């Protein structure tokens, strides 16, 4: 992972243990509720807070979408300064994010174009900017202590 994008505010900062049927195995997954939201409506709200309200100006064909008009959005303006959204990101990282986080699929970079972006080509910085320490992991008291086998990809009791 690139060191100039390690612990950005919009990315997951916690690890969650999920136990499958309460015994035998579990999985570790990363959550990113800060950007993804807890449900589809919250996800839409988070995108609107950055990209502004969807309209023909920022999403051609918006008014012919199947669910157009089912949800009324406030008139939000797009964020001018992406540094306020992702303060630890480098300018190269921000330029990539601006091309990935857009409403219109036609304007969004394809995977092939993304891999040619300067972010993946330039040298990785030798020293990352300040990165806050990770949050402590709190395991619910009702769970038994577990042993992690990261190579196996699941938790063993």
Domain boundaries, the chain: 3-156
In whole angstroms, give the CA distance from residue 50 to residue 43: 11
What is the third-level CATH fold of 3-156?
A: Transferase(Phosphotransferase); domain 1 (1.10.510)
To the question of pTM greater than 0.75 for the whole model, the response is no
Convert the pLDDT of each residue in 27-80 to its tens digit. Answer: 445 555 555 667 777 888 888 889 998 888 888 888 888 888 887 778 889 999
**Per-residue pLDDT at 33:** 52
DSSP of 134-157, one letter per residue?
Answer: PPPP---TTSPP-EEETTTTEEE-
């Amino acid at each position: 992972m690139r060191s100039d994008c390690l612990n950005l505010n919009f990315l997951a900062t916690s690890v969650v243990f999920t136990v499958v049927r309460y015994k035998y195995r579990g999985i570790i997954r990363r959550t990113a509720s800060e950007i993804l939201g807890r449900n589809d409506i919250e996800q839409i709200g988070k995108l609107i807070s950055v990209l502004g309200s969807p309209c023909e100006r920022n999403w051609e064909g918006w008014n012919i979408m199947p669910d157009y008009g089912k949800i009324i959005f406030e008139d939000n303006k797009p964020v001018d300064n992406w540094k306020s959204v992702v303060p630890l990101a480098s300018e190269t990282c921000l330029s990539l994010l601006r091309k990935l986080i857009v409403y219109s699929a036609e304007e969004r970079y394809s995977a092939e174009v993304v891999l040619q972006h300067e972010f993946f080509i330039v040298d990785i910085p030798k020293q990352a900017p300040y990165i806050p320490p990770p949050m402590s992991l709190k395991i619910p008291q009702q769970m038994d202590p577990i042993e992690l086998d990261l190579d196996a990809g699941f938790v063993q009791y």
